[in-house]
Structure 1
């Protein structure tokens, strides 16, 4: 355990051994086990398969399994690619896959059921090592040991070969996650000399206009190289047809290209490859490579990367049992992967307008899964990553300025707006930072951007919402849930306006924030989609996710989604006693099998009764008992969820991590409090699972948490002391945390019933 004596030492603790990147790689966690630094632009990781988006002309449901490219149960590795999404429910990236081989040259990856038909290799978890910023595995078919580490913008490979006159390193420019025939728009490669290769890849996947440039350098000159173009339709080559472009030709272009670089190796010889990325140019990639990895010391780069992780992990020092430490620091690791850096070392980056910009005074970030991360990840950053969170907001505002629609990001990645999911949750992130005083930017311009986004009548039913107070079900498939999300976001805008004394905006959006009333059907006691004529949609089934007007949830879940007005919600639903019974039923009912088959991506992962922890709209729900007469049920339920949904094992996440949101929920809950409504300065109290924690704040102060008489059975809070005074309320404030101090929970095995 980490002792309090240790925390006083100047030397940072080594917390990397408690990180388990393999957590979430089995089933539906959709994490990757490879190498990355905190918020890094490169995620260098093994891919165990590359699944086509379509099979026999129909959507291939297996695509969903490979959102991060890796599934723990697979037996083969196809190669190591340089970009990955962490924990998402959608697939993309997987750029620039590399694979070392020996023997007969194969440029086809083969298939899992016939692995010898291609360059993939079998592997065993026995030889697999996954640490923060380090991955190692033996490729059994080739007797090659592959090791990976990374800096922010450079992936560093180290391959230990057997003795061979036919060693190869394959560069697969066809492969990608979310693969379909026309994803690759164009690829260009230029062999600069016998160690340096540059180029770029344009793709049209989930991000429809992505261009990624690269610079790749080998530690040893290759003896020769070759190319194969797998495009079904070959581009006319003109006079270039006079050359043999498949062997040792220095400029290669096409849609479906794979290359090989050939070597002769001695026994146990290491060939190293540094692979830098840029969204701007090959020149930018070269600058990134030479700046971040000027030498060939693999171990030093690994040590530097792990030191960066230790710096971030040391922001919260906990005492707990072994599983608790591994759960907690793995959650911190996953929470600090996204959003990702999106600029070169000189500050240049490609903007949403596809022009080159320079980030002045901030780090530009991308990978904003805001439907997920506005709930807990960004509020967590406001406590332990305030500077980064402010930079992320400035990145969102840059996105807004570059948007021809004048909208803040919804789900943005790599200079693309993916328009994924509902709501306009950038405003939640911005409001939360402004209300909590973490806003070193023009706050009034930020508020203006929020207001313009929220008044964008042509976007996803906003016009109906503004005119009617709800979105009609005959106009929008997720009408009810989107209405609820807009109402919460509008409340966030109102809180920001109140803080900035913008009275007219405060009044407008306070009124809009009450629109949740308009989709509540008092006759059934549930939120329910309404039609254009004002009637409620027929054939209502509160347990169904199909055609009910809710996205990724049912009415049971979304009827509890009024995070900004829980007391009013309780009144609407019949008072505290009936509301408590509703919550009890949510966690204890047995959901009939037919509801698991309604959509292709619904599984039993993350489900407790009808509570879906693996999907974010329910993440605040267990804390709602705090607004009833039985707040002790929040305490027992939170501990139950942590016990069931988080384990330091490959299948240890009960659903997609969603760019860190699942992990952020765990971190907050393990510490004993949670932001039910970001945009408020309050955190609802729960039941801490740690014995103690010290939060190292950026202002130099510390906030200490202790749980006296902690234990697996002692989940109930007997009393709470804040700075030596009884805390006779069920929340703490952001200021109480950031000014430093001490929060003490006294735990017991029986609830305190008043």
Structure 2
């Protein structure tokens, strides 16, 4: 019997080894949670409204000395090196360079009730708890951690609009659930405008929170249902340093009063639990009303089966990841690839109730007709690769995202497309009017086929918003003068690219006069080229170049998130022009070489911490998006082998399957989209064009399962870590003589074969 049992176990083990892993099992949500990645490790589904994740500190301005500013370090609410958790909140940004959200923080505790979070160096001083990564699990749509101070196991999962918690308590006692409506990311004084909580019955609580953080007028409604009756509950309301415990002191809100309202509010809910007993609860969110939140809960999770919700969310991830099947050189590469897809498919987020209602930019309630409304548009980042990636593998979603942008335009008092918008707020963050790039790219590639005249109208209106960020001067002078608007060179160059996108859209629609006008505007980069220095350089309103100029410095030189070296290469719509300005192909190639291999002196880093050097190779800044197309520019000077070298170098150095594995903010998926495109072997240098530039693929084989039913297969023969050079490329059996393929080449289906080798083909 023993021999038989051993034999059966051996067969079972061998069989288990042959079962291939699901693609979602390669996702590691902890990648990018350390240092500058600004990702979160918690539970979410593709493009979900709810991102349920732990917070590892209270974010306040007095913490600014840590990580070069706490507001920046905690954009996602979680830093891997922190040793305590303050609770679990339901809204987050993934990989941003700015902070907000962190709504509706809940924390399970035992023992004496505490309603303040305490401090990281003294976890027992509040409701926070120490934790160990040894007891932490982060997977697709599942997060688990042991809260050491209370010996409570916390588990999280989610649907699109509902967060689902399961807390397991160690012994028979009173369990507390702390509900902190004061907590939040970017939590400065008086962030809350108003909070309201209503205990509907012994298992249902509703309410809302209105804030004035980065989004100035943001309101989120909730409905929270518990799996067992509440034993006791209470609230404390706070106004600055004073605590008020009732309405005009007529009621005691601290215990079992069913209504609480204040600018700042904290609550607790008590439950009787047995040893090993569990408290489960669901929190549904809505942009419209508590009724909408409750309807979302009943629509999406109308049961108490936590494991079922985990599984359903993981199947949603599997469905999305199956859009690209890959065979990689190593398992680590596969983790990188599918985690990049995971991060790319978190944002933008669904922003409407299950019945289609949402709050618009005009703060009125609208209903999406025939499309899914989205928010979280970090367009300065994502127009470059994320939305072009969606045009390939998520065209239906990108179609709806473009309709969401046009709805934003309709509702905007400025008659403008979104710049950086979330939760019915326009934040006007960063520069450019890059929604026009997303619309132009989607239209020329046939993803958006309706509302085309309206799209052009919206693009033209956004480009002529004269009181926005130097546009009036840009139109008057042909450039943005530095003495009238900061970051003037960056603005001039980005406006010029956006104008080229408008020209391509107008050309697509047969509007030749509009196309001619915007092609003229698209050449505005010539106005800030300084032949003497050999760089783009800030000019003043009187026509003079600014005298004080250091092309390596990032401060006060007319640029944003880059220096003159980086931005002087930012003419994605006309590489031939920048090559000519630099004196021809050979000189330009040398210039590119210098960018990647020069050593920046320490004085150009603001701080001595290594964290400020994240994302930098020489003077090439992969952690900031203006350089994302640069490695592909060798293709224009007939040195594609150098593009191939640089791409494989960047892939290896900027993306690792570790907590600090992202070389800079993921920027709501842009960094990950760059990885996906480049690992596949091509990249959209100038969205608005149907062309993709070829690089050096990292995959051994990849199959794109397209929404139109076609498949596009990429194969890299003789692929290895040393065979990084492309010997030749064939599309559907025919050799490609240039360095481009088109969008139709992909969408029509077929095969792209790279033949790889150790030596460059010059």
The TM-score range, normalised by the shorter chain, is over 0.9
Structure 2 equivalent of residue 463 of structure 1: 472
Matched, 1:642 2:648: no
Find the residue that maps to 1:714 and give its secondary structure. Answer: coil
User: C-alpha displacement at 1:12, in angstroms?
Assistant: 11
The C-alpha deviation readout for 1:78-131, integer Å capped at 9, x for no partner, is 000000000000010000000001111111101111211011011111111101
Structure 1 equivalent of residue 228 of structure 2: 220
- 8 A contact 2:64–2:71 mirrored in 1: no
Match of 1:382 among 386, 391, 403: 391
Find the residue that maps to 1:659 and give its secondary structure. Answer: helix
* Whole-angstrom CA distance in 1 between matches of 2:149 and 2:66: 33
Match of 1:651 among 657, 660, 683: 660
Find the residue that maps to 2:206 and give its secondary structure. Answer: strand
Structure 2 equivalent of residue 249 of structure 1: 257
Matched, 1:603 2:612: yes
Q: How does 1:156-171 map to 2 (within 5 A)?
A: 156-171=164-179
Q: How does 1:335-734 map to 2 (within 5 A)?
A: 335-597=344-606, 603-734=612-743
- 8 A contact 2:351–2:373 mirrored in 1: yes
The C-alpha deviation readout for 1:405-444, integer Å capped at 9, x for no partner, is 1000000000000000000000000000011011132111
Find the residue that maps to 1:597 and give its secondary structure. Answer: coil
Structure 1 equivalent of residue 7 of structure 2: none
Find the residue that maps to 1:326 and give its secondary structure. Answer: helix
Structure 1 equivalent of residue 48 of structure 2: 40
Matched, 1:84 2:92: yes
The normalised TM-score by structure 2 is 0.96
Matched, 1:208 2:192: no
The C-alpha deviation readout for 1:198-252, integer Å capped at 9, x for no partner, is 0000000000100000000100111101111232266989965222111111010
- 8 A contact 2:77–2:102 mirrored in 1: yes
- 8 A contact 2:144–2:154 mirrored in 1: yes
Structure 2 equivalent of residue 19 of structure 1: 27
* Whole-angstrom CA distance in 1 between matches of 2:268 and 2:616: 46
User: C-alpha displacement at 1:165, in angstroms?
Assistant: 2.3
Matched, 1:103 2:111: yes
Find the residue that maps to 2:753 and give its secondary structure. Answer: strand
* Whole-angstrom CA distance in 1 between matches of 2:42 and 2:181: 19
Matched, 1:61 2:64: no
Find the residue that maps to 1:138 and give its secondary structure. Answer: strand
The C-alpha deviation readout for 1:655-699, integer Å capped at 9, x for no partner, is 000000000000000000000000000000000000000000001
User: C-alpha displacement at 1:56, in angstroms?
Assistant: 9.8
Match of 1:30 among 26, 34, 38: 38
Compared with structure 1, are the counterparts of its residues 56 and 710 closer, same or farther at alpha carbon in structure 2 (3 Å cutoff)? closer
Match of 2:274 among 241, 266, 270: 266
The C-alpha deviation readout for 1:275-330, integer Å capped at 9, x for no partner, is 00001000000000111010000000110000000000000000012011000000
Compared with structure 1, are the counterparts of its residues 403 and 608 closer, same or farther at alpha carbon in structure 2 (3 Å cutoff)? same
- 8 A contact 1:646–1:654 mirrored in 2: yes
Deviates more, 1:551-560 or 1:60-69: 60-69
* Whole-angstrom CA distance in 2 between matches of 1:59 and 1:641: 25
Compared with structure 1, are the counterparts of its residues 197 and 325 closer, same or farther at alpha carbon in structure 2 (3 Å cutoff)? same
Matched, 1:130 2:102: no
Compared with structure 1, are the counterparts of its residues 324 and 236 closer, same or farther at alpha carbon in structure 2 (3 Å cutoff)? closer
- 8 A contact 1:54–1:180 mirrored in 2: no
The normalised TM-score by structure 1 is 0.97
* Whole-angstrom CA distance in 1 between matches of 2:750 and 2:64: 62
- 8 A contact 1:431–1:496 mirrored in 2: yes
Match of 1:283 among 265, 286, 291: 291
Which consecutive unaligned segments of at least 5 residues does structure 2 have?
1-18
* Whole-angstrom CA distance in 2 between matches of 1:580 and 1:424: 30
The C-alpha deviation readout for 1:466-517, integer Å capped at 9, x for no partner, is 1110000001111000000000000000001101001111011000000001
Find the residue that maps to 1:242 and give its secondary structure. Answer: coil
Structure 1 equivalent of residue 9 of structure 2: none
Compared with structure 1, are the counterparts of its residues 303 and 57 closer, same or farther at alpha carbon in structure 2 (3 Å cutoff)? closer
Structure 2 equivalent of residue 7 of structure 1: none
* Whole-angstrom CA distance in 2 between matches of 1:569 and 1:298: 57
User: C-alpha displacement at 1:554, in angstroms?
Assistant: 0.2
The C-alpha deviation readout for 1:349-399, integer Å capped at 9, x for no partner, is 000000000000000000000000000000000000000001000000000
Q: What is the Cα-based RMSD across aligned positions, in Å?
A: 1.7
User: C-alpha displacement at 1:166, in angstroms?
Assistant: 2.4
Compared with structure 1, are the counterparts of its residues 204 and 64 closer, same or farther at alpha carbon in structure 2 (3 Å cutoff)? same
Compared with structure 1, are the counterparts of its residues 223 and 237 closer, same or farther at alpha carbon in structure 2 (3 Å cutoff)? closer
* Whole-angstrom CA distance in 2 between matches of 1:361 and 1:731: 36
* Whole-angstrom CA distance in 2 between matches of 1:467 and 1:292: 53
Compared with structure 1, are the counterparts of its residues 651 and 599 closer, same or farther at alpha carbon in structure 2 (3 Å cutoff)? closer
Compared with structure 1, are the counterparts of its residues 56 and 680 closer, same or farther at alpha carbon in structure 2 (3 Å cutoff)? closer
The C-alpha deviation readout for 1:600-624, integer Å capped at 9, x for no partner, is 9981000000000000000000000
* Whole-angstrom CA distance in 2 between matches of 1:139 and 1:742: 51
Compared with structure 1, are the counterparts of its residues 199 and 646 closer, same or farther at alpha carbon in structure 2 (3 Å cutoff)? same
* Whole-angstrom CA distance in 2 between matches of 1:238 and 1:226: 11
Deviates more, 1:49-58 or 1:639-648: 49-58
- 8 A contact 1:46–1:78 mirrored in 2: yes
Match of 2:760 among 744, 751, 754: 751
- 8 A contact 1:104–1:166 mirrored in 2: no
- 8 A contact 1:276–1:289 mirrored in 2: yes
- 8 A contact 1:546–1:598 mirrored in 2: no
User: C-alpha displacement at 1:164, in angstroms?
Assistant: 3.3
Structure 1 equivalent of residue 12 of structure 2: none
* Whole-angstrom CA distance in 2 between matches of 1:208 and 1:22: 30
* Whole-angstrom CA distance in 2 between matches of 1:56 and 1:131: 31
Find the residue that maps to 2:178 and give its secondary structure. Answer: strand
The C-alpha deviation readout for 1:447-475, integer Å capped at 9, x for no partner, is 11000110111111111111110000001
* Whole-angstrom CA distance in 2 between matches of 1:170 and 1:271: 13
* Whole-angstrom CA distance in 1 between matches of 2:728 and 2:612: 39
Compared with structure 1, are the counterparts of its residues 324 and 600 closer, same or farther at alpha carbon in structure 2 (3 Å cutoff)? closer
- 8 A contact 1:455–1:462 mirrored in 2: yes
- 8 A contact 1:185–1:202 mirrored in 2: yes
Structure 2 equivalent of residue 113 of structure 1: 121
Find the residue that maps to 2:580 and give its secondary structure. Answer: helix
Q: Number of matched residues?
A: 743
